[in-house]
C-alpha cells in the first residue's frame, strides 16, 4: 500500500511539473516567433510572444524579446519601456549579488534543481547587450546624453560580472572536489567539443565584453566632446578585437588634425544582422559512480545551433558607392564562449543530480518496491533536459562602417543576398549613429534618421 501511495505521489508530481518550465520548449516557441520576424510580420511575432507568456509575472526573457521586436517594428518608446523592465530585473540581480555574493554563489551551485526551472537571470553577454541596445535606441533619435547614461551602466555591469565570475570559478572548483566529480568537457562522448574549443571562441577574453559596446561608447563620448573618455573606449575595442583597422583608426583619428567642416557629419552605420543562436538539448551517456558500481546514465547538456536565416553582408551601397562593413562583434561566438565557460558548472550540477536520482531509485527499488523505483526512473526521464532559454531575437552579427558625409539626404542600398532593401538617410547632426536591423530579407529601421524605401519591407514602421 505504501509503495502504491508513493508511486501515486510521484505521478502527481510529474503531472504538476508538466505545467511548468521543465516541459516548456523555449527553442520551439522562439523559432516560430523568429520566422514571423524574418518574414517581416512583426505584429505576428509579438502576438505569438504574448500567447506564450500569459502569466502576469513576466520573466526577463519576455521583456528582452519584446524590446527587440518592438524595436524592429519602429516603436522605440515601447521598446525602451520593455527593456527598462528587463533592466530593472537585472538591477535587482546586481543588488542581490552586491549584498551577499556568497548566497548567490550557493544558489548557483544548487544540485537538486533542474537548470530549466531555475529563475532565468540572463547570460552575461545578454546583460551587457541589453544596455548597449538601449543606447542604440537613444542614438536612433540623436539623444547622445541618454545613450551616455546607458553606456556608463554597461561599464559598471561589466566590472560586477568580472568580479563575480572570479568568485564563481573558485566556488565551482571547491564543489567539484567536494563532490568527487572529475568529468570534463572532453569526456562527453558525442558532444561537439570542437565548436566550443574553436580558435575564435578561445581567443575571446571573456563572453560578455563586446568590442561594439566599447567602440560605441568611444563614439558617443567623442560626439559629446569628451575625448578623454572616448580614447579608453576605442582602445578597449581594439584590445578585444586586435588587428581590425577600423577600430585602430578611431583612436588615431581622435587626435587627428583632419577636422570636419561645418557642413559635414561623422556618421556611424551600424548593421545588426541575423538572430542569436538557439539552445537545444543533447542527451549523452555518462558513467556515474554509485555504491553498486559504475552505472551509465543518459543525461542532457545544452547545445548551440547557429542561425542561418540571414546571409553574410560584406558591403553596402551609399549614394552609388560601395562602403565596406567590418564585423566587430558576433553574438554566436560570444554565446559559445559563455557555454564553454559554463560547462564545468553544468557538468557538476548534472552529474550530482544524476547520482542522487540513481541512489534514490536504488533505495526505493530495494527497500520499498521495484514499482516505486521504476516510477522515480520514469519521472527522471520525463524531466531530463538541458536549459534551452536564451535571448533569441538578439542580433547575431554586428558590423559597422564609419563615413564622413555632407549633411542632407542620402540613399543606401543593401545587397541582393538580403533582399536588396533601399533606405533613405537623413543626416543632420555633427555626429550621427544610424542603426539598421536585418533579418532574412527584411531590413528594419528606427528613429527619424532612416526610413525604408523598398516595398520588400512594407510591414516595417519607422518611429515617427
Average pLDDT over residues 18-45: 81
Q: Are 346 and 387 in contact (CB under 8 A)?
A: no
Query: Residue 196's domain spans which residues?
Result: 2-255+330-394
Number of domains in the chain: 1
* Cα–Cα distance for residue pair 180/185, rounded to 1 Å: 16
Cβ contacts of residue 460 below 8 Å, gap of 6+? 40, 42, 72, 73, 74, 442, 443, 444, 445, 452
Average pLDDT over residues 86-113: 81
The CATH number of the domain where 194 resides is what?
1.25.40.10
Q: Are 303 and 387 in contact (CB under 8 A)?
A: no
Asked if residue 220 belongs to a domain, the reply is: yes
Burial 81-100 (b: 16+ CB within 10 A, else e): ebbebbbebbeebbeebeee
Asked if residue 265 belongs to a domain, the reply is: no
Q: Are 158 and 131 in contact (CB under 8 A)?
A: no
Q: What is the DSSP letter of 453?
A: -
Asked if residue 445 belongs to a domain, the reply is: no
Q: What is the DSSP letter of 204?
A: S
In the predicted model, is pLDDT for residue 343 greater than 90? Answer: yes
Q: What is the DSSP letter of 243?
A: T
Confidence (pLDDT) at 290: 67
Residues 390-401 have pLDDT tens digits of 999 999 999 999
In the predicted model, is pLDDT for residue 123 greater than 90? Answer: yes
Confidence (pLDDT) at 463: 42
In the predicted model, is pLDDT for residue 302 greater than 90? Answer: yes
Asked if residue 310 belongs to a domain, the reply is: no
Residues 260-291 have pLDDT tens digits of 678 899 999 999 999 999 999 898 887 777 66
Asked if residue 452 belongs to a domain, the reply is: no
Asked if residue 276 belongs to a domain, the reply is: no
Asked if residue 202 belongs to a domain, the reply is: yes
Asked if residue 47 belongs to a domain, the reply is: yes
Q: What is the DSSP letter of 244?
A: -
Amino acid at each position: 500500500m505504501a509503495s502504491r501511495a508513493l508511486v501515486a505521489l510521484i505521478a502527481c508530481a510529474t503531472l504538476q511539473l508538466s505545467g511548468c518550465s521543465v516541459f516548456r520548449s523555449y527553442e520551439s516557441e522562439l523559432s516560430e516567433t523568429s520566422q514571423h520576424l524574418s518574414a517581416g510580420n512583426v505584429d505576428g511575432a509579438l502576438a505569438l510572444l504574448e500567447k506564450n507568456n500569459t502569466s502576469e509575472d513576466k520573466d526577463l526573457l519576455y521583456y528582452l524579446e519584446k524590446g527587440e521586436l518592438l524595436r524592429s517594428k519602429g516603436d522605440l518608446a515601447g521598446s525602451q519601456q520593455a527593456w527598462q523592465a528587463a533592466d530593472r530585473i537585472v538591477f535587482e540581480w546586481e543588488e542581490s549579488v552586491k549584498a551577499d555574493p556568497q548566497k548567490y554563489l550557493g544558489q548557483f551551485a544548487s544540485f537538486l534543481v533542474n537548470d530549466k526551472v531555475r529563475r532565468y537571470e540572463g547570460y552575461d553577454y545578454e546583460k551587457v547587450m541589453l544596455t548597449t541596445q538601449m543606447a542604440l535606441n537613444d542614438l536612433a533619435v540623436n539623444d547622445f546624453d541618454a545613450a551616455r547614461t546607458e553606456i556608463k551602466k554597461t561599464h559598471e555591469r561589466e566590472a560586477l560580472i568580472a568580479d563575480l565570475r572570479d568568485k564563481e570559478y573558485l566556488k565551482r572548483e571547491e564543489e567539484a572536489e567536494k563532490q568527487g566529480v572529475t568529468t570534463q568537457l572532453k569526456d562527453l562522448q558525442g558532444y561537439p567539443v570542437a565548436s566550443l574549443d574553436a580558435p575564435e571562441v578561445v581567443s575571446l577574453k571573456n563572453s560578455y565584453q563586446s568590442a561594439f559596446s566599447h567602440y560605441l561608447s568611444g563614439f558617443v563620448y567623442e560626439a559629446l566632446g569628451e575625448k578623454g573618455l572616448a580614447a579608453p573606449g576605442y582602445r578597449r575595442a581594439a584590445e578585444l578585437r586586435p588587428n581590425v583597422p577600423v577600430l585602430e583608426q578611431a583612436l588615431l583619428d581622435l587626435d587627428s588634425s583632419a577636422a570636419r567642416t561645418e557642413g559635414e557629419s561623422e556618421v556611424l552605420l551600424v548593421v545588426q544582422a541575423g538572430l542569436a543562436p538557439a539552445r537545444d538539448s543533447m542527451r549523452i551517456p555518462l558513467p556515474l559512480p554509485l555504491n553498486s558500481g559504475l552505472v551509465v546514465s543518459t543525461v542532457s547538456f545544452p547545445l548551440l545551433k547557429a542561425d542561418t536565416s540571414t546571409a553574410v553582408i560584406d558591403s553596402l551601397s551609399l549614394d552609388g558607392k560601395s562602403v565596406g562593413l567590418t564585423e566587430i562583434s558576433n553574438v554566436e561566438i560570444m554565446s559559445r564562449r559563455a557555454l564553454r565557460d559554463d560547462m564545468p558548472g553544468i557538468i557538476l550540477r548534472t552529474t550530482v543530480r544524476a547520482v542522487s536520482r540513481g541512489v534514490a531509485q536504488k533505495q526505493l527499488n530495494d527497500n520499498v518496491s521495484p514499482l516505486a523505483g521504476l516510477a522515480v526512473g520514469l519521472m527522471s526521464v520525463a524531466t531530463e533536459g538541458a536549459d534551452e532559454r536564451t535571448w533569441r531575437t538578439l542580433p547575431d552579427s554586428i558590423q559597422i562602417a564609419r563615413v564622413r558625409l555632407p549633411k542632407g539626404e542620402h540613399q543606401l542600398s543593401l545587397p541582393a543576398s538580403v533582399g536588396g532593401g533601399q533606405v533613405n538617410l537623413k543626416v543632420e547632426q555633427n555626429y550621427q549613429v544610424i542603426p539598421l536591423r536585418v533579418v532574412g530579407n527584411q531590413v528594419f529601421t528606427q528613429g527619424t534618421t532612416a526610413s525604408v524605401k523598398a516595398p520588400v519591407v512594407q510591414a516595417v514602421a519607422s518611429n515617427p
